[in-house]
Amino acid sequence: MRTSRSPNSPARVAATVGYAGQITFDTSRLDGTPQKLLDVSRLAKLGWRAATSLEDGIRPISTR
């Protein structure tokens, strides 16, 4: 098992929703989610930037 160290990791989500437990991944099993990547480079060249951070997007739904 491993702990995620990605900048967009589950640790950021856990911190936002107040989860204090340990997060581990069983790398011997598939996660079942195909990788999906969105290339926003063309939008960025036009000046577009995301207006909502990951934390700000999660916070409202985590308090339901």
Question: Tell me, what's the pLDDT at 46?
Answer: 94
Question: Tell me, what's the pLDDT at 45?
Answer: 94
Domain boundaries, the chain: 10-62
pLDDT in tens, the chain (64 residues): 444 445 557 888 888 888 999 888 888 887 767 777 788 899 999 999 888 888 888 888 876 6
Helices (H), the chain: 10-17, 41-45, 54-62
Question: Tell me, what's the pLDDT at 6?
Answer: 55
Question: Tell me, what's the pLDDT at 58?
Answer: 85
SS (H, E, C) 31-45: CCCCCCCCCCHHHHH
pTM reported for the whole predicted model: 0.47
